Structure 1
């Protein structure tokens, strides 16, 4: 499934995460200042003043991110590569890398939230309506894609999405790996419905907060929705998420245990390529290294 959209914050975060999933990090990173304003405009319908303001803020955030956060990504990638090279792709190691990744996202979120809050507070009624309509469209599309199909179709599609994510990194899955991915998808059952229900719940809370953007205390109300989304999860989704996260880790451990030498070598080379692209960012090279 696609990464949940938390309006400006998540657009910014998603932009940074795009870098991790792209084999050409430098190309993706250099164009984030173009991609993100266009994405935000799809949800808010920004005017020219807002666009110029966001462009200036985005440049500041990108500079901060490259000089203070990217060096840590290099270390993270080194750890990941070492895990594969030494055949230590275990549950404890993957959980450690996942926790480090979550912390990196939280740091970005804290950094960009003030800009998001300021932009949201500037919205007029028409822009809020545009945002509300965009959310409604988002939910319709996700329901049609992930919930409306029969359960067996949902399971099959979920398996295909996982294999599509994995194939750039380890190539085509073997028959045993495909069966393991299928078993993983079957075990998740109707998780799609809980995910969409939770998405609907959060978007409702977010729109309600934005509608009170001119009232005192707006920043205090909207900030938790941007920075601590998990605290607003429905109980059903919270339980399902914990199970899903654990299932995903076990899946990756098993797939690596079943991997061929060629798959492992491909993964090592892919990680090294991403690391090289990060290391070659011009903004990082301009930063004095202690």
Structure 2
């Protein structure tokens, strides 16, 4: 599972994705990505905001401090979570295991938001109007590209969603049997057609983000505004989006449990081994200085 793409294109959301959660959940180039996260974040921020040399230095210093603390304080918790996940996968997943995993994901994401907001808000208060216009145009262009990528019949989106799910399953558990492919494809295709509502949610959050930048608020006020944008509570979420997220999570739970019940011993062993590889990477990074 990858971190959800909904409105992940602002500086704060990119930082969240790059620093830990996205790397942890996707398992893609974890060690390399985390060790170079400061430079990746600098590149992303410059892409969005066209940073001045002073802002770039400030961002790099803040990011390096954040990563040092995060590695020391949170990577052991990630490794512990994965240790428990490995045991649950080994025993065979149950619905309460997925509830537990979602709760951990929400907790880790919330922790990252709170870690990033003080430094992120401080940096954002230094943005000029030309930089605000720059990021607005970048976000609008990305928004349009995203919309074009899923525009068309809902059936085509369902097929693309199924293809991605099958590729992710093969990454974690290896080759799939014909029956498993057919069942997983059908189950993923039946998930809610989320893209239109997610796109509208991204559009609204992009507008709120730009409006917040233009208020020239204090760091504390801007942090409060961004908290609601990046990590909204249920009460703050749009009703349609909140309902869709609940339906999507319930549907995803059913898909994962169905796949888990179809796993062969070899496939389950591969999944456990894949999780252990992530645990080893995290513990290596925790010990790094």
The TM-score, its normalising length taken from structure 1, stands at 0.91
Partner of 1:279: 283
Does residue 195 of structure 2 align to residue 188 of structure 1?
no
> Cα RMSD between the aligned structures?
2.0
Partner of 1:228: 232
Does residue 59 of structure 2 align to residue 54 of structure 1?
yes
CA distance in 2, matches of 1:29, 1:199: 26
In 2 relative to 1, CA 271–220 (structure 1 residues): closer, same or farther, beyond 3 Å? closer
Unaligned segments of structure 2, at least 5 residues? none
Aligned pair partner of 1:211 in 209, 214, 220: 214
What does the per-residue CA deviation read over 1:175-221, in whole Å, with 9 as the maximum and x for residues that have no partner? 33323333333323432111111111111111111111257944443
Secondary structure, aligned partner of 1:280 = helix
Partner of 1:67: 72
Partner of 2:106: 102
Secondary structure, aligned partner of 1:122 = coil
Aligned pair partner of 1:199 in 197, 202, 213: 202
In 2 relative to 1, CA 172–26 (structure 1 residues): closer, same or farther, beyond 3 Å? same
In 2 relative to 1, CA 269–3 (structure 1 residues): closer, same or farther, beyond 3 Å? farther
CA distance in 2, matches of 1:219, 1:168: 38
Greater mean alpha carbon deviation, residues 125-134 or residues 8-17 = 8-17
What does the per-residue CA deviation read over 1:116-143, in whole Å, with 9 as the maximum and x for residues that have no partner? 1111111001110111111111210111
How do residues 1-290 of structure 1 correspond to structure 2 at under 5 angstroms? 2=5, 4-5=7-8, 7-15=10-18, 16-20=20-24, 21-22=26-27, 24-87=29-92, 89-146=93-150, 148-214=151-217, 217-228=221-232, 231-281=235-285, 284-285=286-287
The TM-score, its normalising length taken from structure 2, stands at 0.91
CA distance in 1, matches of 2:198, 2:266: 35
CA distance in 2, matches of 1:219, 1:28: 27
How many residues are aligned here?
283
In 2 relative to 1, CA 82–128 (structure 1 residues): closer, same or farther, beyond 3 Å? same
CA distance in 2, matches of 1:128, 1:81: 44
The answer to whether the Cα contact below 8 Å between 1:5 and 1:11 also exists between their aligned partners in 2 is yes
Secondary structure, aligned partner of 1:173 = coil
The answer to whether the Cα contact below 8 Å between 2:173 and 2:271 also exists between their aligned partners in 1 is yes
In 2 relative to 1, CA 132–188 (structure 1 residues): closer, same or farther, beyond 3 Å? same
CA distance in 2, matches of 1:219, 1:189: 33
In 2 relative to 1, CA 218–270 (structure 1 residues): closer, same or farther, beyond 3 Å? closer
1:8 deviation in Å? 2.4
